[in-house]
Amino acid sequence: MTNMKYLSLLLCLGTAFAADVTVIEQIVAKVNGDIVTRGELERSRRQMEADMKQRGMTAAQIQEALREREKNFLRERIDQLLLVQKGKELDLKVDPDVTKYIAELQLKSKIADPEKFQAFVKEQTGMSYEDFKQETKNSILTQRVVGQEVQGRISVSKAEVEKYYNEHKDEFNRDERVFLRQILISTEGKDAPAIAASEKKAKDIVARARKGEKFYELAQANSDDPTAQQGGDAGSFTKGQLRKEIEEMVFNADRGFVSDPIKQGNGFLILRVDERFKKGLASMDEVEQEIREKLFRPMFEPKMREYLTRLRTDAFLEIRDGYLDTGAAPGKDTRWQDPAQLRPATVTKEEVANKLGHKKLLWAIPVPGTHRPATSSSR
């Protein structure tokens, strides 16, 4: 069975090679109409190592984490390909979502010129703009498949929520706490007329927020604070962690409150109260969604794995000797059936860079289990 996509990598091996052609890539798995290459797995390892270095992990910690994680790199890549393929099979329409996501990204970048924005994307991701759009589409498609085929079929009943609440009330005794979002309109380096314009902009944003525009979208498009990328999420605070005048304001406000612009040394700060916990035992209504998420998480992973196993069972899947799919479907024969074709492909370095370069999403679309940052210029 010959696939056109991987034939593009398997160039003919003649008696002589052109000077600019080097053996640098090898197919390690065939997944229906797609392939996984050794270079992709190696790049996954390098990217993970670089990410851990940025987080300040020690060399020993990095090596331990890599030993634990790298055995699943092939499984994760096969998972991704199968989910994208399933999305296409289900004919899920995500082009409008892709367009919206990229438009929001352009707003965040504050680069209006299309050509400059495309150059910015390439600089940040190492991908061409078209490849970036395709990766974005694949990511959204994957989320839609997971939501429709797995998450949407897991339910947590009201009775289960009540049972958990009654048996774990000690988890819901809380200190008074407020959850905030913020928008900062910077005045750094600006003269008096520019500062006045910044104040007017801040007042306009407050008016828009109070009329019902989504605060996190306003933050993404307008805030000069690093939290803009997370929709202005500033985290949660207990009493004593904020400046006195801000603390008095937000701890006496209801959820959804949007402040007037607050003049600071570096600009005008706008705050929104996303949630406020009172001191003492929270009611079940207050924590119902939190409990549902607690009960959902341990149910999701085995259901997700079960679904991916079914996709593998139905797929055309071959794995090169020496590589292991840790998510393999029991009893399925995935041995490489055409050893004659299992040899390094000859491609130019330029082709590999264009087709198989590491693909890192700019402000990657979140997946279940996201992280809430806790940085704030309101501290």
Answer yes or no: is 162 within a domain. no
Q: Are residues 71 and 36 in the same domain?
A: yes
Identify any residues that bridge with 34 across adjacent strands, giving them in sequence order: 31
Cα distances (angstroms) measured from residue 296 to each of 150, 160, 283, 346: 12, 11, 20, 47
Residue burial 161-193, b: 16+ Cβ < 10 Å; e: rest: beebbeeeeeebeeeebbbbbbbbbebeeeeee
Identify any residues that bridge with 317 across adjacent strands, giving them in sequence order: 31
Domain ends where: 257, 278, 299?
A: 278
Q: What is the pLDDT of residues 298-355, one digit of tens each?
A: 999 999 999 999 999 999 999 999 999 999 999 999 999 865 554 444 454 455 445 4
Answer yes or no: is 300 within a domain. no
Query: Residue 265's closest CA among 188, 179, 351?
Result: 188
State the DSSP H helix or E strand holding residue 262, giving kind and residue range, or none if neither: strand 262-264
Indicate whether this model's pTM tops 0.85: no
In angstroms, rounded to a whole number, what is the distance separating the alpha carbons of residues 347 and 352?
A: 7
In angstroms, rounded to a whole number, what is the distance separating the alpha carbons of residues 263 and 367?
A: 36
* Residues in contact with 293: Cβ distance below 8 Å, sequence separation at least 6, in sequence order: none
Q: Are residues 265 and 191 in the same domain?
A: yes
Answer yes or no: is 369 within a domain. no
Share the mean pLDDT of the chain. 84
Identify any residues that bridge with 235 across adjacent strands, giving them in sequence order: 180
Query: Residue 356's closest CA among 78, 27, 12, 19?
Result: 27
Q: Are residues 69 and 109 in the same domain?
A: no
Domain ends where: 112, 134, 149?
A: 149
Answer yes or no: is 39 within a domain. yes
Domain ends where: 232, 251, 278?
A: 278
Q: Are residues 128 and 35 in the same domain?
A: no
Answer yes or no: is 157 within a domain. no
In angstroms, rounded to a whole number, what is the distance separating the alpha carbons of residues 291 and 287?
A: 6
Q: How many domains does the chain have?
A: 3
Q: What percent of the chain has pLDDT over 70?
A: 83
Q: Are residues 73 and 102 in the same domain?
A: no
Alpha helices by DSSP H, listed for 186-333, are 192-210, 215-222, 244-250, 284-314
Q: Are residues 57 and 102 in the same domain?
A: no
Residue 254, judged by CB atoms within 10 A of its CB (0-12, 13-18, 19+), counts as exposed
Residue burial 93-108, b: 16+ Cβ < 10 Å; e: rest: ebeebbeebbeebbeb
Q: Are residues 5 and 70 in the same domain?
A: yes
In angstroms, rounded to a whole number, what is the distance separating the alpha carbons of residues 247 and 244?
A: 5
Q: What is the pLDDT of residue 174?
A: 86
**pLDDT band, residue 38 (cuts 50/70/90):** very high
Answer yes or no: is 160 within a domain. no
Answer yes or no: is 379 within a domain. no
In angstroms, rounded to a whole number, what is the distance separating the alpha carbons of residues 159 and 163?
A: 6
| Region at 173 (left for phi over 0; alpha for psi -120 to 50; beta for the rest) | beta
Answer yes or no: is 305 within a domain. no
Question: For position 267, which CATH number holds?
Answer: 3.10.50.40
Whether 208 shows a pLDDT value over 70: the answer reads yes
Identify any residues that bridge with 37 across adjacent strands, giving them in sequence order: 27
Q: Are residues 188 and 267 in the same domain?
A: yes
Q: What is the pLDDT of residue 142?
A: 95
Lowest mean pLDDT, pick from 101-110, 197-206, 230-239: 101-110
Domain that holds residue 211: 176-278
237 φ, ψ to 5°?
Answer: -140, 145
Q: Are residues 189 and 270 in the same domain?
A: yes
Q: Are residues 64 and 108 in the same domain?
A: no
**pLDDT band, residue 267 (cuts 50/70/90):** very high
Whether 224 shows a pLDDT value over 50: the answer reads yes
Whether 368 shows a pLDDT value over 90: the answer reads no
Q: What is the pLDDT of residue 184?
A: 95
Q: Are residues 192 and 274 in the same domain?
A: yes
Q: What is the pLDDT of residue 104?
A: 85
Q: Are residues 61 and 1 in the same domain?
A: yes
